[in-house]
Structure 1
Amino acid sequence: MNAGGRTISDKIIDAHTVDPADTGVYREVRVDALLGHDATIALLVDEFERRGLQIWDRERVIFTNDHFSPPATIERADISNTFLRFARKRNVTHLMLDRGICHQLLVENPLCTPGSLIVGADSHTVMAGGLGACATGMGSTDILYALATGTTWMQRPATVRVDFHGSLGELCNGRDVVLELLRLLGESGARYRSLEFHDLADRPLGQDDRFAISNMAVELGAKFGVFVPDDVTAEYCAARDGRRPALVAPDPDALYEHTVDLDLSALTPRIAKPWSPGNVVAVQDIETRPVSVAFLGSCSSGRITDIRDAAEELDGKTVHPDVRFVVIPASVHVFQQALRAGYVTTLTEAGAVFDHSSCGPCGGIDKGVLGADDVCVSTSNRNFRGRMGHWESRTYLASARTVARAARAGHIGPDLYEAGGTGS
């Protein structure tokens, strides 16, 4: 046990430890919810059935068909069907077929609350930290164990405190914030740490911004990326669940490895160059380069505020004739919000293509994968070589507003945010 007060991750791990007297390096903990999707759960089906195992609590499992949704090949259809048969046979309560990306569906579900401990068969499960949960991704073998026992083994991570000050400008959102953290810390800057975000801004970050930041905490190497829950958190949960949740907070004397201070007022739009999410520069410093694909979607973005930003940028305007602009809402619920707000009409009139809520091209799966000559500006969370398609393609990571401006201009470059420039 660390000397001094406890951080949020300390408190959550302590509260979920099976044996309260256990102070070992690795501790057995109970999980509040388990998240899985078609592509990874299908990997454990044979072993789960061979051992004759049962799901520990079918009401605490969230299974989603999102990677192959709907399947684009025979092989993927077979994987999807294996997953669905497994889930239906066991009467999993929260089985969602073709309803969106698992991480978005997790935060839309009442199982995801402040102070909860969640594991998922996908690295971006960490996004639930936007609601004050400790959530982390694990491999299929570890998920098999958790699925059968409701427990897992976890090391208490050291915690890095991140303080947000000032006020985020209208041209930036949570994507720019987390890209700036990647510029400052790099891809290994929070390796097996808990990033604890303190929103001390003059104008609190919106919930969608927090999801974007927590989602890419794993790109910094973090085990958790957890916001200290506050009124923003409580209002989101109250709107979702019909009641305000209990909130968890770190001790006033909590022990942190170090603190990162970020002045949001000084932040300008950011962009990550190939082939690393940490290869970040200001958009005003990027070299001008034509783009052939613009993508707005993924669990990192694809929420209603992202679609709104893009609609604002393209209202009454048109996508460049050399650009394919693909928009994939993160969930069917988000798509319905965009329909009601008129954003779908605005963007399709501008030339954008809407696809079904799923992972799509983010992992090079379908609905807009890249060819050898493609240069893409994307709201996805990774731009590793070959991630979105061909090995020779190139992906730049940016916010929805930057993606929309590039889609209109036909290129990325400093002029996207220069007064009177192509993107103004």
Structure 2
Amino acid sequence: MAGRTISDKVIDAHSADDDGTAAYRLVRVDAVLGHDATTALLIDDFERRGLTIWDRDRVLLTNDHFSPPSTIEYADISNKFLRFARDNQVTNLMLDRGICHQLLVEHRLCQPGGLVVGADSHTVMGGGIGTCATGMGATDILFTLVTGTTWLRRPETIAVRFHGELPPTSSGRDIVLELLRLLGESGAQYRCLEFHDESRPKLSQDDRFAVANMAVELGAKFGVFVPDEVTADYCVRRDGELLATPVLPDADAVYERVLDIDLSALDARIARPYSPGNVVPVSEVESVSISTAFLGSCSSGRLEDIRDAAEEVAGRAVHPAVRFIVIPASVEVFKQALRAGYVETLTDAGATFNHSSCGACGGIDKGVLGADDVCVSTSNRNFRGRMGHWDSRTYLASARTVARAALLGRIGPDLYRNEGAR
């Protein structure tokens, strides 16, 4: 029998049918994730059919798109969602606590070797700790909420091996942008990206979440890190102990392709409008004045991102023509940043902190772009109209790059060459 990958083993372990050769497998899930914007789409069908949730303890619901609501329409959607969660006595309702994907990885429902589905594409971020997590549409989530099962086609797996030492000015954001440069937006279509961290020192957990989060931008079904000591340390700090046995690939696992990435050679990357795959090194990007710098979203609103930005702006001032908006990925991240002094450092430099939520990332609120705005952002998508007006332009980059651009008032090839700008 051929060796199995992580996703092979997780799907087999969660199988609810007997035919291991079938193209599609009925599988039991460990948890379901939902947020206000998409969960609201299934409520009418759920109630009209008189359905019940299969296990209220295995559902995590959070209002993150409309938190707090900025319009009457958003308030009505949010209230409908909250009523649904309370009427169905969902155990894990997180009210105004942050972005659902960050709250998922902060919760013990997300475990190495687990299988999680969510009503949002970036649920894949759970793969940062070795969870097979994926997003699905509202109809699929309705089925899973009621049955605790879903149908999956077994994906082929691409192994991505990281080695070398990541430069101090680079981060997980630069890694995943480099993968997008190499593979493009469909380079891992319905594949599992299995990340093997052979770097020294190992990538931090925040870096791993950044990579896993944007695996879906490559088309991946799962983006899973092979669990190791970094994973174990994170889970112990979060849960007090290891609650699950990590699932590892077989030594002779069969991969569709193996991709080796030398992190030592990786400098800062940036994705130009209007595609996350339109990636070049920052050293090759055209010089463009910006009006907005955005640090936030589920892809890069974590503590290390806020730390990197604070290091760049300490004792300096944001360019007078730039609005620098910071939204921590969760209230817990915000509290950590407060304790570390990063919030004060960034605020003193001219940054504006907003409540933990999706905010401008999806063009919802708290920094939406106008027609003439040019933004450099840590969000995960820069399609036309994604962050606001159709004519606005968004460049995707790391938190450090965003902070440097906020200070200079522009992006350009000298952003890292000119160390006097730091």
TM surpasses 0.5: yes
TM-score (norm 1): 0.99
Which of these residues, 188, 194, 197, is aligned with residue 196 of structure 1?
Answer: 194
Question: 2:280 aligns to what SS in structure 1?
Answer: strand
TM-score (norm 2): 0.99
Rounded Cα–Cα distance in structure 2 between residues aligned with 1:179 and 1:419: 22
1:133 alignment counterpart: 131
2:232 alignment counterpart: 234
Question: 1:225 aligns to what SS in structure 2?
Answer: strand
2:114 alignment counterpart: 116
Question: How much identity, in percent, do the aligned residues show?
Answer: 73
Runs of 4+ aligned structure 1 residues displaced above 4 Å come to none
Residue pairs, 1:176-255, within 5 angstroms: 176-244=174-242, 245-255=244-254
- Structure 1 residue 202 displacement after superposition: 1.6
Rounded Cα–Cα distance in structure 2 between residues aligned with 1:23 and 1:240: 37
2:289 alignment counterpart: 290
- Structure 1 residue 359 displacement after superposition: 0.0
Rounded Cα–Cα distance in structure 2 between residues aligned with 1:24 and 1:258: 23
Letter in 1 for 2:222: F
Letter in 2 for 1:291: I
Letter in 2 for 1:284: S
Q: Are positions 1:412 and 2:411 aligned together?
A: yes
Rounded Cα–Cα distance in structure 2 between residues aligned with 1:258 and 1:371: 42
Rounded Cα–Cα distance in structure 2 between residues aligned with 1:145 and 1:347: 44
Letter in 2 for 1:194: C
Q: Are positions 1:90 and 2:114 aligned together?
A: no
Question: 2:40 aligns to what SS in structure 1?
Answer: helix
Letter in 1 for 2:203: L
1:280 alignment counterpart: 279
- Structure 1 residue 22 displacement after superposition: 3.9
Question: 1:78 aligns to what SS in structure 2?
Answer: helix
Q: Deviations over 1:226-248 (max 9, x none)?
A: 00000000000000000024211
Question: 2:151 aligns to what SS in structure 1?
Answer: strand
Letter in 2 for 1:275: Y
1:33 alignment counterpart: 31
Rounded Cα–Cα distance in structure 1 between residues aligned with 2:301 and 2:157: 29
Which of these residues, 142, 145, 148, is aligned with residue 144 of structure 1?
Answer: 142
Gaps of 5+ in 1: none
- Structure 1 residue 23 displacement after superposition: 2.4
Rounded Cα–Cα distance in structure 1 between residues aligned with 2:36 and 2:200: 41
- Structure 1 residue 155 displacement after superposition: 0.3
Rounded Cα–Cα distance in structure 2 between residues aligned with 1:266 and 1:415: 18
Letter in 2 for 1:217: A
- Structure 1 residue 420 displacement after superposition: 4.0
Letter in 2 for 1:69: S
Rounded Cα–Cα distance in structure 1 between residues aligned with 2:419 and 2:380: 30
2:12 and 2:20 in contact (8 A); partners too: no
- Structure 1 residue 317 displacement after superposition: 0.4
Rounded Cα–Cα distance in structure 2 between residues aligned with 1:202 and 1:370: 40
1:14 and 1:20 in contact (8 A); partners too: no
Letter in 2 for 1:396: Y
- Structure 1 residue 415 displacement after superposition: 1.3
1:16 alignment counterpart: 14
Gaps of 5+ in 2: none
How many residue pairs are counted as aligned between the two chains?
Answer: 421
Rounded Cα–Cα distance in structure 2 between residues aligned with 1:416 and 1:20: 57
